[in-house]
Amino acid sequence: MAGLRTQVFKQVICVHHVYNGAKRFASRIGFIGLGNMGGSMAKNLIVKGHRLSVFDTNPQAVANLVEEGATALRNPADIAKNVECVITMLPNTSHVLETYQGENGIFQGIQAGTLLIDSSTIDPSVPKQLSSLAKNQGAVFLDAPVSGGVNAAKAGSLTFMVGGQADEFEPAKEILSCMGARAVYCGPSGSGQAAKLCNNMLLAISMIGTAEAMNLGIRLGLQPKLLAEIFNSSTGRCWSSEMYNPVPGTMENVPSANNYEGGFGTNLMVKDLGLAQDAATRTQTPVMLGSLAHQTYRIMSAHGFGNKDFSSVYKYIQEIEKSR
């Protein structure tokens, strides 16, 4: 049954590329959650020829997508009634549960055969719950959180970590390829979220380490660009130093070059690290540096950095120095 449903689904919503100058059938996709990440992901779907219906609680975010050619609908239920696939990109677990299960939620309007893809970062137990509810209504739910940040969302080069039914991965991959460079099947429902939480914990740790090392080097008289070049050609190389350096003036087109605006907020990192801590507690797994990173970002949030990009840990370190 699942295999037959997959074949039908692939015929209906698979991505069709431009051929001999003519655009072929474009699938109907709903997108809910048009923030820094979701807005760019949705735009890439439009660019690749999909007909998009969108919803967000922020009217300006919706208006931006309508200008790109999307259709705005009133609520998640209306989205689900009009599409073959729904993608959600939301801030936290409570937003996801409300969007799927709440009044006028996705499950109030979902059609049999619909593919649901959640790219939020949430508790790994939630996809299992939503997958079961979707199955009861003849639909399929996949958890597919992303890695790569705002710049990768704009460039369509995200990595998707996918959990759910293995035989539904390929048709989902067709859609995910419009927004990312790579989609990796991680296992049953919740596996994508598990991979994402581990990745973000490592990211948080490496960003703090990069900020501390850069700050020390600068205080020792080294030029920040030179120090970054050394890191990135030596054993200290990591994504935080090479692609997302936290020191202003070191790189262009990253949050540190824009007063730490427009990136992955500190509050969101606190949320993700909290989920990782919960998972570590539940599995009795020691995460010493993960715990320290969680505490660091919680303190940053309490000191006014909550809405700044998480790389503002470099600025926070400087403020600690000034307060001594």
pLDDT at 322: 86
Cβ atoms 287, 276 nearer than 8 A: yes
- pLDDT exceeds 90 at position 323: no
Assigned CATH topology for domain 195-323: N-(1-d-carboxylethyl)-l-norvaline Dehydrogenase; domain 2 (1.10.1040)
- pLDDT exceeds 80 at position 11: no
196 is annotated as an active-site residue:
yes
What's the gap between Cα 148 and its chain centre? 8
Q: Which of 154, 173, 196, 271 is catalytic?
A: 196
Gap between the terminal Cα atoms of the chain? 67
- pLDDT exceeds 80 at position 119: yes
Residue closest to 315 by CA, chosen among 169, 214, 172: 214
Q: In this prediction, what percent of the chain has a pLDDT beyond 70?
A: 92
Q: How far apart are CA 129 and CA 153, in angstroms?
A: 27
The string of pLDDT tens digits covering residues 223-236 is 999 999 999 999 99
**Structure tokens that stand for 60 in this block:** 């300006």
Q: How far apart are CA 318 and CA 305, in angstroms?
A: 13
pLDDT at 149: 87
- pLDDT exceeds 80 at position 25: no
In three-state secondary structure terms, 324 is coil
Query: What ranges do the domains of the chain cover?
Result: 2-188, 195-323
What's the gap between Cα 323 and its chain centre? 35
Q: Is CATH 3.40.50.720 the right assignment for the domain spanning 2-188?
A: yes
pTM attached to this predicted model: 0.86
pLDDT at 73: 97
Provide the residue type at 297 as one letter. Y
pLDDT at 6: 44
